[in-house]
Amino acid sequence: MARSRLRPATLTSRLVLTTVVLATLLAIAIAGATTFAMRANLTHGLDVEVTSIVPRAGGGDYQPPDDVAGRPGGEEPGYGGGCDRFLPGNQGPGTLLAALSDGSAGSAARGSVLTEEVCGERALSSGALDQLADVPVDGRVHALDVDGVGSYRVVATPTDDGTVLVAGLPTSSVDDAVRSLVGYEVLIGLLGVLAAGGAATLVVRRQLRPLRDVAATAHEVATLPLDTGEVDLAGRVPASLRDARTEVGQVGVALDTLLAHVDASIAARHRSEQQVRRFVADASHELRTPLATIAGYAELARRRPDDAEAARTALAKVEGESGRMRVLVEDLLTLARIDAGRPLARDDVDVTHLLLEAVGDARVLAPAHRWHLDLPDEAVEVVGDAHALHRVVSNLLTNARRYTPDGTTVTVRVALDEAGGGAGGSVLIAVHDDGPGFAPELVDSAFDRFVRGDAARTRTPVDAGGSGLGLALVRAIARAHGGDVHLRSAPGDTTVEVAIPRRAATLTDGQIV
C-alpha cells in the first residue's frame, strides 16, 4: 500500500521522473568518466616529474652529504646556492629524496622533504625510511603513503656505488585538482538535472496535451445519459488528433471509431425500442377490433336467445373474427420465432411445383384476375423450409389479389442467378402486376410490420384487407434463408422480387413453425 501511494499518479509525473533519473545517471556517468580521465592525466604528468627528479639531482653521480646538519655558507655541486641541505636546490616544495645504502634503511640511510621555507627541509623519520626501503627498484612509479609526510608518488633508482635513491612528489596537487573538479561536477550536475526536470515537465505536458483533449472528449461522452431515449453522440475526436502516424493519433482514431460504433448501436437500439412500441400498439389495435366484434355479437346472441337467425349471424361473425385473430397470432408468432433465431428446416424444395400449386389456388380465389406463370424448362430447387417458402409465395399472391382490381394481370416468374447466393447461385421469384401499385410514401416502408395502404385502419370483410404483416413475413423468411426481397412499384408496373440462395449454409435442422 505504501509503495502504491508513493508511485507517481500521472503519466506526466512518471515521464518527468524517468527523464530526471536518466539525466542524473548520465550526469554521474559523464562526471565519473571525466574525473577518472583527469586523475589519470594529472597522475601521469606527476609521474613524469617524479622520474625526472633523480637526473636533476645528479643521476648516478649524486653523492649525498655525510649528514643532514646544515653548514651555513657551504656550496657544493648539486646543492642550491647559499644553502647547505640534503636535497638539491632545483626542486619544489614537497619533493622527497632519500638515499638508501644497498637499498636498506640502515644507519647510513638519509632522506628529507623540501619545505616551503627558504633552504628549508625536513628529515624523514626512520619509519618513513623503512617504507621507502620497501619500494621496488624497478624504475616504475608507485603510490605510497609516507608516515608523517602524506600521499606520494615515488620511484626507486640505483646509483653506480650501490646506493638506491628514492625520489617522490606529493599527490596533493592532483587530489586538490580532482576534488575541485568533483565539486564543480556536482554543482553543474545538480543544475543540469534541475534544468532537465523543468524542461521535461514543459515538453511532456505539451506533448500530452492532445491526449488530455482525447480524454476530455471521452469524458464528455461518458457524462451523457445513454440508457434511454434517443441519444445524439455529437462529440467526436477532432481531426487534428486522429493522425494514425502518431501514438496519440492512434488513440484518437480508436476512440472516434468506438464513438461511431456506440452511436450506431444506440441509434439501432432506439429504433428497435420504437419498433417494439409500434409493434405492441399495432398488435393491440389489430386484436382489439375482432375482440370487440366477437364481444358485440356474443352480447347480441345473449339478448336474443329465441332468435335463431340472430344466433346464426352472431356465430358466423364470431367464427370469422376468431379465424382472423388466429391468422394474426400465427403471423406474430412466426415473426417472433424468426426474430429469436429459431432454425429453419433443410429440405430440398421444388420451387416450380410450389409456384404451380400457389398460382392454381390463386386462380380459384380470384378468377377475375389473369394469372400467368413463366417457368424454366427444368425444375428449380433450393435447400430450405418448404412451409416457410410456401408462405412467402402465398403472401405475395394474396397481396397482389387483394390490392389490385379485377382484370389485373399477375405474372409469376422464376429465374436462376448464378452470380448471387454464393457458390450455388440463387433463385429469383418475381411477382409482377399491372395494378395501381403502392403509394409512393409506402414504397420504402412496405416491408415494415403493420404497414398497410388503408392508413385509417378501417375494416371490411376479412378478405378485403390484411393485417399489415404479409410483406413483413416475406422479408423475414427470405432473410432467414440468407436471401432478401426488393420492391419496384409504379402505376401499372409493380414487381416484388425474392432472392433465395440455392444452398443456404445458415440453415440448420428444425422448423420455425
Asked if residues 296 and 313 have their Cβ atoms less than 8 Å apart, the reply is no
> Strand pairing of 370-374 and 409-417?
parallel
With 90 as the cut, is the pLDDT of residue 101 above it? no
Average pLDDT over residues 396-409: 89
115 Cβ contact partners less than 8 Å away, ≥ 6 residues apart: 93, 121, 122
With 60 as the cut, is the pLDDT of residue 472 above it? yes
Confidence of residue 169 (pLDDT cuts 50, 70, 90): very high
For the chain, give every domain's residue range.
2-38+178-207, 59-170, 226-340, 343-501
- Output the pLDDT for position 90: 65
Average pLDDT over residues 18-39: 91
Look at residue 482 and give its three-state secondary structure: coil
The Cα 396–Cα 473 span in angstroms is: 10
For the CA atoms of 34, 36, 39, 42, the dihedral, rounded to the nearest 10 degrees, stands at: -70
With 50 as the cut, is the pLDDT of residue 194 above it? yes
425, amino acid identity: G
Confidence of residue 68 (pLDDT cuts 50, 70, 90): very low
With 70 as the cut, is the pLDDT of residue 470 above it? yes
Q: What is the CA radius of gyration of the chain?
A: 55
- Output the pLDDT for position 74: 36
241 Cβ contact partners less than 8 Å away, ≥ 6 residues apart: 210, 213, 214, 248, 249, 252
Asked if residues 231 and 266 have their Cβ atoms less than 8 Å apart, the reply is yes
The Cα 144–Cα 150 span in angstroms is: 8
Confidence of residue 399 (pLDDT cuts 50, 70, 90): confident
Higher pLDDT, 466 or 272: 272
- Output the pLDDT for position 368: 92
- Output the pLDDT for position 433: 92
With 80 as the cut, is the pLDDT of residue 208 above it? no
Confidence of residue 41 (pLDDT cuts 50, 70, 90): very high
DSSP state of 327: H
- Output the pLDDT for position 123: 86
Residue from 53, 52, 47, 133 nearest 87 by CA: 53
The Cα 156–Cα 97 span in angstroms is: 10
The Cα 288–Cα 292 span in angstroms is: 6
Q: Which residue has the cell 399477375?
A: 410
Q: What is the mean pLDDT of the chain?
A: 77
Terminal alpha carbon distance of the chain: 62
Average pLDDT over residues 190-216: 81
The Cα 87–Cα 119 span in angstroms is: 9
Q: Which helix (DSSP H) or strand (DSSP E) does residue 311 occupy? A: helix 308-339
C-alpha cell at 460: 371490411
Q: Nearest 5°: phi and psi at 305?
A: -70, -25
b/e sequence 454-483, b meaning 16+ C-beta within 10 Å: eeeeebeeeeebbbbbbbbbbbbbbebbbb
The Cα 444–Cα 464 span in angstroms is: 23
With 50 as the cut, is the pLDDT of residue 297 above it? yes
With 90 as the cut, is the pLDDT of residue 369 above it? yes
The Cα 237–Cα 407 span in angstroms is: 61
Higher pLDDT, 90 or 486: 486
Higher pLDDT, 85 or 19: 19
Beta bridge pairs of residue 113? 96, 122
Average pLDDT over residues 59-80: 42
With 60 as the cut, is the pLDDT of residue 77 above it? no
Question: What sign does the CA torsion over 336, 338, 342, 346 have?
Answer: positive
145, amino acid identity: D
User: pLDDT (tens digit, 9 = 90+) per residue, 311-354?
Assistant: 788 888 888 888 778 877 887 777 777 777 777 778 888 888 99
Q: Nearest 5°: phi and psi at 495?
A: -135, 130
- Output the pLDDT for position 180: 93
Query: Residue 65 to residues 77, 84, 85, 110, 402: CA-CA distances in angstroms?
Result: 11, 9, 8, 9, 145
Q: Which helix (DSSP H) or strand (DSSP E) does residue 412 occupy? A: strand 409-417
- Output the pLDDT for position 496: 92
Average pLDDT over residues 158-166: 83
Give the CATH superfamily of 343-501.
Histidine kinase-like ATPase, C-terminal domain (3.30.565.10)
